[in-house]
Structure 1
Amino acid sequence: MRRIRLLWRILKITHADKLLFGFLVYFILTSIMIYLVEPNIQTVGDSLWYCFAASTTIGFGDIVAVTLLGRVLTVILCIYAVLIIALIPGVVVSYFIEFNKIKSKESVVVFLDQLEHLETLSKEELRELSQKVKQRRYRL
């Protein structure tokens, strides 16, 4: 549950939540329109199933669009879905990379500040600083 909240927070910070909501609204509207124009689709559930299969590019083939409007709506839905499926993970990964860069820069700044003020550090702080230097040396 914590990870889902974190993901949601990232989506809100980066405004990708608006893209996701836009896709969901378009998905539902397309499902309703497909239901209204396609003779092979008898229920809204079948229309939702068709749109899901099309948008995930699975395309089972159990239900197909036969009208021009149904096919155009399906193409737009598929393109929109591919863009959203590619964009959301990219936004999350980019956010985490930037977050880690900032976190790393902050720790380096604190480290350099401690090095500049060695004379003001206590013996315990000097020991901790020495341990950090040793750990960094062994990582390289």
Structure 2
Amino acid sequence: MTKFLLSVHVLAAILAIGPVTVAASMFPAAARRADVATLRLLHRICRVYAALGIVVPVFGLATAASLGVLGDAWLIVSIVLTAAAAAMLVLVVLPRQAGILAGGAGERAPARLGMVTGVFNVLWAVVTVLMIVRPGSTTGV
């Protein structure tokens, strides 16, 4: 069962979180070009895949419980960083994208959104590294 849970967790991360990070990263450049059709598409990708992304932590927690590592420091840090990335996406990235689409965000909005998106992407990169390296793991990896 653990292999199934881990497989779904990893596949969901690739298929859900990957498109969000790419689309969110492309959005500021498209905003500077004022490419409205592309902006709408990228914003929709971010919204839809953000919703699908909930599968990642759900199966991640199930996998962690199955492995008995829920109390490990690397996992707790990963959970906190995942929550921070999700909050940043829902509370900052998506609303700023919507503001740019609405036309009332200002001239510097794409640059500010680019910085926030960069932080969002770095959070996911750190979580990915923690999932692979697992500091303090006794698995010998």
Q: Same fold (TM over 0.5)?
A: no
Could you say which TM-score interval applies, normalised by the shorter chain?
A: 0.3 to 0.5
Which is bigger in relative contact order (C-alpha 8 A, separation at least 6)? Answer: 2
Which structure is larger by alpha-carbon Rg, 1 or 2?
A: 1
